[in-house]
Amino acid sequence: MSKVAIVGVGISKFGNRKGVSLRELAFEAFKEAVEDAKIEKEEIQSVITACASDEFAMSLQPAAQIQDYLGLNPRPHFRTEAACASGSMAVRSGWMTIQSGLADIVLVNGVEKMTEVSTARATEIMGKGGDTLWEYPFGMSFPGYYAMLATNYLATYKDSERSDFAKVAVKNHYYGTLNPKAHMQKIVTEKQAMNGLMVAYPLRLHDCSLISDGAASVIMVSEKVAKRFEKPVWITGLGAGSETHDIGRRKSLTSLESACVAAEQAYKMAGITPKDVDVAVVHDCFTIAELIAYEDLGFCGRGEAPMLIRNKETYLGGRIPVNVDGGLKAKGHPVGATGVAMTAEIVKQLRGECGERQVKGAKIGLSHNVGGSGQFVAIHVYQV
């Protein structure tokens, strides 16, 4: 099997991007990625775009609009949809396109514009990511799903406390202040996080990620083309898993089986163990999700995630720095863009380009992207 490298990355500013259209957001990231790779857009042979929601995009064909605006017709292109994991599934699809021999240079885009609608409407749209027969009609929303995971975690692991969730928020908001692309660049104290507005018990305001606009792009190339580039970052492991759509039929509400399966696949393919990972970005749509990710990824044992955050093991300088870009919590969570932005962040970390939030000497990185409440999970391992 030949290797696939990432040679260019771009990330738009995340936030409430009033006056900027979906296609203009995509262009910001695309332009940066092409300039980073130092290629001409005419060299791109195939395009994949992640855009999770027709309702946010107000279009049945948002990828076609973006393809047209970027001036990439008549190249082949398609759109991926895997809820919040759409971006990582697009990266996976780019890897498969190159491995199949259909293309040597692939552009992967991820984009979402979520702030054109009210918070209530956004919550409603996202709620349809759950089971629309047995859950959504009865008022379930994503804060509700993750509140179920949080309450089960607290009940199962008696040493865990709600303050452990707050500590995740404190960490990720701090690193968000060091990331100029992050939506929220604001320090949050543990006291503020503990006393914020209750959203869905036990999750409060600062436990929840942001409704954001944003885009990210990566340029992926085959092994033979990668020889042209100075700092290729290789995708050495991929894993993907799925989980029951109906959350009531799951084996566990303190872990995502889909993530465990995906992690095992990715580690095996890359030939590494969790201890070899130098830096990770994980899907912290809610603070409990980051703690569960620590355990599902094997960074610690079951019930031990609170000790990692209490001891600052997931900070810079700790055993396994996690979400030092601010995570979804502070960077923002424009759904289709999230997974592609995760890939871009790890590439920049492995190239040593992250400034104050750089993990020194990082050689192996990991991204963990969850769709819905675990219905899709994609995990990638990257190496230099």
Q: Is-contact 170 189, C-beta < 8 A? A: yes
- The single residue listed with the structure tokens 């995971």 is 149
Query: Strand pairing partners for 215?
Result: 111
Taking the C-alpha atoms of residue 144 and residue 319, their distance in angstroms, rounded to an integer, is 32
* DSSP annotation of 47: E
Among 51, 77, 84, 245, the one annotated catalytic: 84
Q: Is-contact 221 232, C-beta < 8 A? A: yes
Maximum Cα–Cα distance for the chain, whole Å?
Answer: 58
Q: Is-contact 157 314, C-beta < 8 A? A: no
Copy the structure tokens of residue 245: 């759509």
Nearest to 295 by CA among 307, 278, 310: 307
Residue 125: alpha-carbon gap to chain centroid: 19
* DSSP annotation of 182: -
Q: Is-contact 79 51, C-beta < 8 A? A: yes
Among 173, 183, 245, 333, the one annotated catalytic: 333
- Active site annotation includes 260: no
Q: Is-contact 66 22, C-beta < 8 A? A: yes
Nearby residues of 353 by Cβ (< 8 Å), 6 or more positions away: none
CB atoms within 10 A of CB 246: 13
- Active site annotation includes 333: yes
Transcribe 79-130 into DSSP letters: EE-BTBTHHHHHHHHHHHHHHTTS-SEEEEEEEEE-TTS-HHHHHHHHHTTS
Nearest to 146 by CA among 326, 366, 329: 329
Phi, psi (rounded to 5 degrees) for 78 = -155, 170
Cα three-residue angle 148-150-155, rounded to 5 degrees: 95
Copy the structure tokens of residue 384: 């230099």
Q: Is the peptide bond before 202 cis (omega within 30 degrees of 0)?
A: yes
Taking the C-alpha atoms of residue 43 and residue 125, their distance in angstroms, rounded to an integer, is 37
Which residues are designated catalytic? Answer: 84, 333
